[in-house]
Amino acid sequence: MTDRVALITGASSGIGLELARLFARDGHDLVLVARRQDRLRALADELTDRYDVQLTVIAADLADPSAPAEIARRVAAAGLEVELLVNNAGYGLAGEFIRTDAATELRMIQVNIAALTHLSKLFLPRMVAEHQGRIMNVASTAGFVPGPLMAVYYATKAYVISFSLALAEELRQCGVTVTVLCPGATRTEFQERAGLDLEARAFRGPWVADAASVARAGYQGMLRGKRLVVPGVFNKIMVATARLASPALLAKAVRRVQESVR
């Protein structure tokens, strides 16, 4: 007998943590993945106190290329089957590409792109064989535009959008859905970790969302099998505009925004 679970990466804070609360509220057993085990355990305790759900915590560094296979091995060893996969873990780094730390950016590519791809590769075959399952990949509105002064991060999110939409189409008739969630600026630990200025005006307007509402939009979109979820009116307008504008013009506009948050 295997138990069906939702696996969420990056559940130790921000959007991933709020997603875990929503899944648990609806009775899903969960596997929580991130590096900070203490945070994951505290969340697991909170959720098992409030809801009738089983929680499994896996502390893993997704910058390690061997992490996805090890996670899949531990999931199987625990007799669990991943029916819902949320690839949410990710981070950014601000700065001119010529000055930013190469190792941090290469690890970012591993976390934001390679681990997400590898986990999908590992858990999809079972979903397809059973004609049920859902994947949610967390990208960003940043994935629709070139991102001077945060170039690698924006490019990783462009990959996530392209990959997710392509996979959704491949799986169209398999009973498995793929949703890509594209939040705009959201109050989490992301900005501080990326080296962005939290006091900047860009992070103080009504367009800045809270993690709970972003998680809700993604969760509902995933349940409905939506391919693309852009939460918030401001972000929807931004994405629609970006689709019409020239890439060179967009790069100039994004550069101005990025200059204002450093």
**Interface contacts to ligand NAP, rule CB under 6 A:** 9-16, 34-36, 39, 61-63, 88-91, 111, 138, 140, 183, 185-186, 188-190, 193, 211
Residue nearest to ligand NAP (CB): 14
Instruction: State in angstroms the smallest separation of the CB of 251 from ligand NAP.
Output: 19
Alpha carbon distance 235, 218 (integer Å): 14
Helices (H), 98-246: 102-109, 116-129, 151-170, 190-194, 211-223, 233-244
Between strands 3-9 and 29-34, the pairing is parallel
Residue whose CB is less far from ligand NAP, 79 or 112: 112
Closest C-alpha to 160, from 135, 138, 178: 138
Instruction: State in angstroms the smallest separation of the CB of 184 from ligand NAP.
Output: 6
Is residue 110 within 8 Å of 65, Cβ to Cβ?
Answer: yes
Whether residue 153 lies in the annotated active site:
yes
Residue whose CB is less far from ligand NAP, 177 or 235: 235
Instruction: State in angstroms the smallest separation of the CB of 234 from ligand NAP.
Output: 13
Alpha carbon distance 61, 110 (integer Å): 10
Instruction: State in angstroms the smallest separation of the CB of 64 from ligand NAP.
Output: 8
Q: Compute, in degrees rounded to 10, the torsion defined by CA atoms 14, 194, 191, 195.
A: 150
Residue whose CB is less far from ligand NAP, 53 or 152: 152
Is residue 91 within 8 Å of 112, Cβ to Cβ?
Answer: yes
Dihedral of alpha carbons 195, 255, 143, 222, sign: positive
Q: Looking at 153, 154, 159, 219, which residue is catalytic? A: 153
Residue whose CB is less far from ligand NAP, 52 or 123: 123
Active site residues: 153
